[in-house]
Chain A
Amino acid sequence: MSERNPVSRFSRAIGRTWHPSPALLLIPGLLVILFLFLWPLGQMIYFSFTDPTVGFANYVRFFETPSEIRSLITTMEVSFLSTLICAIVGYLYSYTMLRSSKTVSNLLMVAVVLPMGVSILVRTFSLQAILRDTGIINQTLLNLGIIKQPLPLIRNSFAVAVGIVSMELPFMVLPMYNSMVQINNKLLLAGEGLGATPLRVFIDIFFPLSLPGVLAGSLIVFVSSLAYYIVPQLLGSGGQLFLSQDIAHWVQDQAEFGYGAAIGVILLLLTLGTLFIASFFINIDKALTQSTGGK
């Protein structure tokens, strides 16, 4: 212990050695999470069990109402569908990025990541302007005489899926591209050298090796799209609701906090349940770091 060490001077002053642990630096962050996240979350969970009566009444009510069950199924169905489409589109996009020159590859990366800087609300409104009956697609087709009536491109699950895929594509492409880039080209050459057709090489060597990225990306996208609110609100039909729209309706329009909180808890459990089941198949830590590009 040297004279220049302030800890040692302090320790000698109080008569015992005290080495502050670096873990103490976590305290400010933990306090923020505590007051801005955990406390409100705890209150909402509390409301769900006590407002208007103590007990499971809100949860029983949810599972006894057909329209709520429909919302639950719609949320899961449309999220699953969107994840599937996003996976296919994302895979094609990542593969293209892999097989292009460095410049094109960088351009494609920028093209998929840059829109994230624009607010999701603005992007959803512009999708609305594109897909609606009086929007660009329909008006062009009508004016060209290709169709006589506007195509039903909006206010249905198709539009919601388009919206979700459009917002979630970066989160799918990044982990996929990451895992594809790490595939050793020599393995593919070895396959060819042993006489496999390009198709066999893809199916037997490339695709299985890229699968971790596909699963990681799909998990992120699925779990994110369960919670979507703006996209189904602006692009969906008023009838098929997502759970998040349900919650907004009960809390804002009907002022029933307990019921809304209960639906929120159900959504939370759905999300955590999905992550839990997926953790048996995927390494969640790795999936999260890959989806943010390791940053």
Chain B
Amino acid sequence: MELKVKGEQKELDLKKNMGVSCLDSGENMEKYDYSELGLKAGLEIHQQLDSKEKLFCRCPTLIRDTGEANFEFFRYLRATESEMGEKDRAAVEQTKIRRKYIYKAYDTTCLIENDEEPPRGMNREALKISLGVAKLLNMKPVDQMHVMRKIVVDGSNTSGFQRTAFLAGDGVIETSEGPCGIDSLCVEEEAAQKIEEIGDSIVYSLDRLGIPLVEIATAPDIKSPRHAREVAEQIGMILRSTGKVKRGLGTIRQDVNISIAEGARVEIKGVQALDLIEDIVRREVERQLNLLFIRQELLERNAFVCEEIYDATGLFVDTKSKVLQKGVKKGAVLAALLREFNGLVGREVQPGRRLGTEFSDRAKTAGVGGLFHTDELPNYGITEQEIQALRDAIGAGPADAVIMVADETEKARLAIEAVITRAKEILQGIPEETRKALPDGNTAYMRPLPGAARMYPETDVPQIEISHEYYNSIETPELLTERAKRFVSEFGLNMELAEKVAYSKDLPLFESLLEPYKKDAIVNATLIARTLVGLIPELRRSGVETENLSEEHFKGLFAAISTQEIAKEAIQDLLTALAKEPELNAEEAISQLGLSAFDPAEIENFIKEMVREKGDFIKEKGPAALGPLMGIVMKEYRGKVDGKILSHMLKQEIDSFMDQG
């Protein structure tokens, strides 16, 4: 492994010199040989269920506008001991700062969300949906479900824990790189939505708290960034196949667990977009490799971390640096001395993130804004002289790095302690931790990996037996991939359109609209599919408020086409009109727009008249006159009469004109 890292060094250095990140590598080329690096990755997918009620209360699963909140209250949380008499390390770290959690409540939330009433029994609809998913993932259910309390003290659960139950294990899905095991499926409560942070207070909205969620964890069978994405896509498809999951931003979240040989298991939380998964995996591998490389260099330099915390406040009483001035005023400027770290604190571990950023992330857990390190100084108004004075005062040589934090004394002390801990860790290896996904594919420290100490039984909810009869009675839906294939064979859709419809949230609408027209000559699956997944998004992009369109509008539209009251060409105009005035029905809109098919006699007259006028042209061109003349007819009737019918009528008229000579 050491050789491996050294081998990588050139590559990394080269990469840095060129200023390119590994993400810029070619479409089909991966930067690293992941199997050789010993990549182990697994996914945890959290998907909200579209049940009528929440998991442990009878409130609706409605997301509200925070402006509609009708009540607000606040709480503090404390880390408590588990039933085994231990405190969870993540909980302990998170309660270092006393945070005030402010909650917004609604007329659609109740005392259970407020942690003011014991939970009701588990929502059976959610349980059934979850077991349906377990079946699709070829899992084996437990015989008796136990609801647990998982300690979460970031305020996102009013109780300080999340209720969760293990339902099934030992599943598998097939992927292009072989089978991927599914280790567990749990049904749990969604957390409250974080709205904002105000100083040490965090505001949460309670509408989301308690919405049922399935958490699916794969085995560490994922082999590459691309494979991670494939597995996530496939599980997402399976979830959507149930037709019982919520859709839209934030309703599905992926966590990624990653480690490489010599690295450590890191859990990355909250990857909201599928597109980001590959980048997250690549960049975490890169981070672990770079940290291992830095460690190697530190070991070669015999680097070590001093335990002592230095009070440097006195050195900065007259500083011109505004940030430091503020710190001095608040309390203290404290410093830590890292022997032989010079130059490495500023070393990049991910594009734009340095070892110093990792230190800073830890410092922030104490509630400070950040830190300064000598690799980035002089800067922020801090002068070369001041740095030298600091170095002299604490006995730091040119090969050493110094870290500074300026804030209230207690916060600064906790922050520097956290930095010292992190600095010592780098000499050991990669720390196991929970990190949060950043929008650019990088990650930032969140908290230590929680242990089993965070889990104890929820005694307010009775256990539920999952009998064979019950599990066997749960029907599994057709997978969306299969459904798309069926749309191709059964209704003659092309594969692209079939997939688009099958994966769309309008799938139930498509099926309901298609029902009466399965054998219709004019209205067919392709027309309905094109309208729903082609035309509608197009109209939406051009500013039409398509969300106003109801199923009734579409039914009226296709009925009118089927009876040839209007032509297919009129669809766009009609839907635009209906979206503008949704109180109209299709019939009313048709007559208002004058879209009703024209009296055939009138069209015949129009064509006859035109043919007579253009007689010379027809005589000259013969049957080839059809094209140009059709243009004139279409100009008159486009969108009102089916082009095929017009063309047919025009051809007949030309033929009879020519026959008459």
* A and B pair up: no
Contacts from A to B (Cβ < 8 Å): none
Contacts from B to A (Cβ < 8 Å): none
